[in-house]
Structure 1
Amino acid sequence: MQAVSTWLTSGARPPAALLAGALGTWIGVRPALTAGTFLLLVPLVVLARSPIRALRQMPDQPAAPLPPAPADQTSPPASPAVPSSARTDDARHERALGGDAS
């Protein structure tokens, strides 16, 4: 979730800068800054009018869990999450001592 939020805000910066520059050129710097200040109040108004204000505890879990997604028959079986090490402990020991680990 944090990565998506960062991606969205970072992606919105160049168009917002272009729009702010165009607005500042068109109506002037001070009115553009005033408009930007009022635009910052929009999320506050949206949250103040939403049902989130009345929320005092987390909602309950759904009554029945969702059914599992059907398995794709064309894909190969999943590989293990953590691959096993190809080298043995002896090879690691030899490398630590300066030997050849191949």
Structure 2
Amino acid sequence: MSTWLTSGARPVAALLAGGLGTWIGVRPTLIAGTCLLVVPLVVLYRSPLRSLLEMPGSPAVAPPSAEALTPPTPPGPTVPHPAVAVDVRHDHSSEGGP
């Protein structure tokens, strides 16, 4: 809805800016347009949106726990992940060999 409103307002604003530029001149029209850019800032500053801490109407939801984020382990034998390097060689240095 907001995209439709902003896209639909552009041609109207262009026609108004062109008419105002023809009537009072380009420089005063640009100054007036620049001053109009401050209007949304003032409206948002004075609105109750600044004091909102959470979305209205949304239930308070606790963040998920670590247990909820870990995938369940499938039944059966555990298979190592292919990206994990497993060293199958044995260290023979403690056996007293050469």
Q: TM-score, normalised by structure 2?
A: 0.54
Compute the RMSD of aligned alpha carbons.
Answer: 1.6
The answer to whether structure 1 residue 31 and structure 2 residue 28 are counterparts is yes
Provide the residue aligned with 2:13 in structure 1.
16
| Aligned counterparts of 1:7 and 1:60: Cα–Cα separation in 2 | 25
Paired residues in the alignment total 59
Give the counterpart letter for 2:45 in structure 1: A
Q: Which runs of 4+ in 1 moved over 2 A?
A: 58-62
- Residues 1:42 and 2:39 aligned together: yes
How far apart are residue 58 of structure 1 and its match?
Answer: 2.2
- TM-score calculated relative to the size of structure 1: 0.53
Say if 1:14 and 1:56 are closer, same or farther in 2 by CA, change over 3 A: same
Per-residue deviation, residues 26-78 of structure 1 (Å, max 9, x unmatched): 1111110010011111110000001111112223459xxxxxxxxxxxxxxxx
- If you compute each CA radius of gyration, which structure gives the higher value, 1 or 2? 2
Q: Return the letter of the residue paired with 1:44.
A: L
Which position in structure 1 is the counterpart of 2:81? none
